[in-house]
Chain A
């Protein structure tokens, strides 16, 4: 019996040792740096202002003027993303109307496999106010480990410019307030 317990403990230890290797293999694992993603600075003035960016060209997500950035990987072709669009809009409005969160927490969407036209169609259809970015050739999607949609990433940006993933989860929220509470708590903001 004693021998069995020892073997069991060794095997459990091995299992737990392998676990971080599994999670670490995901490019979006919590605690890791965000993969190097370059996005085009939006043309819309209100989106530039929201992100704290100016001019033309590209930017990297940690350059967004915020302490926390929520990244939604979605697709206009994904039924779940379509159904959840009003909840995500509510999530955005809750941030923007909160004295404590406005300016500190920002949200962006990246449309996996979606062209400019498709992103624009989704924006108009669901009256999305936060910036959406196309990823027509799936290049960003590949960098994020080809996650399913909708996928949410929470990024904490420190004062020294370092950014760490604190939330990485498949599936969107059913309740905007609960989702916001959970993210704020996890972010340590």
Chain B
């Protein structure tokens, strides 16, 4: 009986080794990504309006600072990127793209604030895989999703939508985009909106 168990174990071990090599090596970051599958594209109702004052908030950053929207008033245009959750497929790609696109933000005198409802330790570990980020990553963990809810992008399962907001230096919301949670928004659209601010 023991012999049979040994043989079966060897069989599956060999099979496992062979099948794994057929797909080549995988990257550490990607191996740690949890795939939630296809989700309902949008699951919330926006509470803010373009042309109106954006709601103020203060959130902790992974840098250890507390960041408030009003601190940036009169100084910088602000882009807020809500992504649903750390360690998920689309979100893990979106911010690394913005990380190499700093010039698009700089040219339009804008800063980026990345927000999720994850806690600081999770965000710290996750964003570390992306390399050194030039923008603040803020945690809307507690009270859970309060800021996401203020903007109307908190989904019924407690994560945020994949949303982009552009707020001008006067604190007025100039662009609100809540996209399909399963898809990454094209950088072109954000670049176009930021360009509009420069021409205002």
Does B bind A?
Answer: yes
B3 within 8 A of A: yes
Contact A118 B187, beta carbon cutoff 8 Å: yes
Contact A23 B22, beta carbon cutoff 8 Å: yes
- B107 CB to closest chain A CB (Å) equals 13
Contact B96 A79, beta carbon cutoff 8 Å: yes
Contact A19 B130, beta carbon cutoff 8 Å: no
Task: Select which of B18, B23, B187 is within 8 A of A19 by beta carbon.
Answer: B18
The CA-CA distance from A4 to B10 in the complex, in Å, is 12
Q: Which residues of B contact A75 (CB under 8 A)?
A: 93
A7 within 8 A of B: yes
Q: How would residues 134 to 174 of chain A score, 1 for a CB under 8 Å from any chain B CB and 0 otherwise? A: 00100000000000100000000000000000001111000
Contact B18 A16, beta carbon cutoff 8 Å: yes
Tell me the nearest residue of chain B to A170, going by C-beta. B24
Contact B24 A22, beta carbon cutoff 8 Å: no
Tell me the nearest residue of chain B to A148, going by C-beta. B30
The A contact surface, by secondary structure, is helix
- A144 CB to closest chain B CB (Å) equals 13
Contact B191 A79, beta carbon cutoff 8 Å: no
Contact B11 A12, beta carbon cutoff 8 Å: yes
Task: Select which of B25, B131, B184, B187 is within 8 A of A79 by beta carbon.
Answer: B131
Contact A4 B7, beta carbon cutoff 8 Å: yes
- B96 CB to closest chain A CB (Å) equals 5
Contact A11 B10, beta carbon cutoff 8 Å: yes
Which residues in window 149-200 of B have CB below 8 A to A? 184, 186-188, 191
The CA-CA distance from A19 to B93 in the complex, in Å, is 32
A-B contact sample (20 more), CB < 8 A, given A18-B15, A78-B96: A4-B7, A11-B7, A11-B10, A11-B11, A15-B14, A19-B15, A19-B18, A22-B22, A23-B22, A76-B97, A79-B129, A80-B27, A80-B29, A82-B131, A113-B184, A115-B188, A116-B188, A118-B188, A121-B101, A170-B23
Write the residues of chain B forming the contact surface with A, with a CB cutoff of 8 angstroms. Answer: 3, 7-8, 10-11, 14-15, 18-19, 22-27, 29-30, 93-94, 96-97, 99-101, 129-131, 184, 186-188, 191
Listed by A's residue number, 25 A-B pairs whose Cβ atoms lie within 8 Å are: A7-B7, A11-B8, A12-B11, A15-B14, A15-B15, A19-B18, A19-B22, A26-B23, A75-B93, A76-B97, A77-B97, A77-B184, A78-B93, A79-B129, A117-B191, A118-B97, A118-B187, A121-B101, A125-B100, A136-B186, A168-B24, A170-B24, A170-B27, A171-B25, A171-B27
Write the residues of chain A forming the contact surface with B, with a CB cutoff of 8 angstroms. Answer: 4, 7-8, 11-12, 14-16, 18-19, 22-23, 26, 29, 75-80, 82-83, 113, 115-118, 121-122, 125, 136, 148, 168-171
